[in-house]
Amino acid sequence: MKKIGIAGGIGSGKSIISEVLKTMGYPVFNSDDEAKLLMVKNPEVVQKIKSIFGDEAYNGKELNKPFLAKKIFNNLDLKSELNKIVHPAVRKAFVDWAEIQSSSLVFNEAAILFETGAYKSFDFTVLVTAPEKVRIERVVSRDNSTETEVKQRMKNQWKDDIKIEMASFVILNDNSTLVTPQVMEMTSLFNKAI
């Protein structure tokens, strides 16, 4: 079994690639979804978050997202502390999940694989790219964000040209190039490497 990380900047269309893979029968683990789950369901993660941010980090059993967002928005140290709690828990959840899969290839969709260095723990990595204009349009319509807000979020992520150097395979998801043939080529390539 080969473990493959799928990454891409905000609005690149990672989820579309994941859906194509699922349709083809490959299991896909979503790191963002798992992180959200662990932050409310994993007692150890909850306790660590409370120890740094206080009980205000939660409204009952729900994560107090506005409070946390406000705390970490301009504080890189606090953001780093939160990542040090959540990222290892997500990585462990992926490893545990991958162990019970029977597919030749398992995929992990995660926004910032390259930025965190997590890409090194995969057999291969896939970078999903799209032109900035397309990415902004997607996020504005998806999240009801403003163009300025999206550009601000993009500034916190590495540029594609840096990540392309580290990726095993690049998929262009620009609304005009077909993605399914690219995904089929990628899975064929990775299956041959087993």
Question: For the whole prediction, is pTM greater than 0.85?
Answer: yes
User: Is residue 17 very low, low, confident or very high in pLDDT (cuts 50, 70, 90)?
Assistant: very high
Mean of pLDDT values over 94-107: 97
Determine the pLDDT at residue 85: 95
Instruction: Please say whether the beta carbons of 28 and 18 come within 8 A.
Output: yes
Neighbour tally for 94: CB within 10 Å: 23
- Compute, in degrees rounded to 10, the torsion defined by CA atoms 94, 103, 125, 41: -20
Contact 67, 56 (CB under 8 A): yes
Class of domain 1-27+106-194: alpha beta
Three-state secondary structure call for residue 173: coil
- Residues 97, 18 contacting (CB under 8 angstroms): no
Give me the mean pLDDT over the 95-102 stretch.
97
The per-residue pLDDT of the chain, averaged, comes to 94
- Rounded CA gap, 188 and 22, in Å? 15
Cβ contact 4:108 at 8 Å: yes
DSSP β-bridge partners for residue 7: 127
Closest by CA position to 136, among listed 113, 154, 111, 112: 154
Among 66-70, 72-76, 92-96, 174-178, the range scoring the smallest mean pLDDT is 72-76
The rounded distance, in Å, linking the Cα atoms of 56 and 161 is 40
Express each pLDDT in 23-46 by its tens digit: 999 999 999 999 999 999 999 999
Q: Mean per-residue pLDDT for 70-82?
A: 88
**What confidence tier does 143 reach under pLDDT thresholds 50, 70, 90?**
confident
* pLDDT over 80 at 194, yes or no: no
Average pLDDT of the segment spanning 85-94: 95
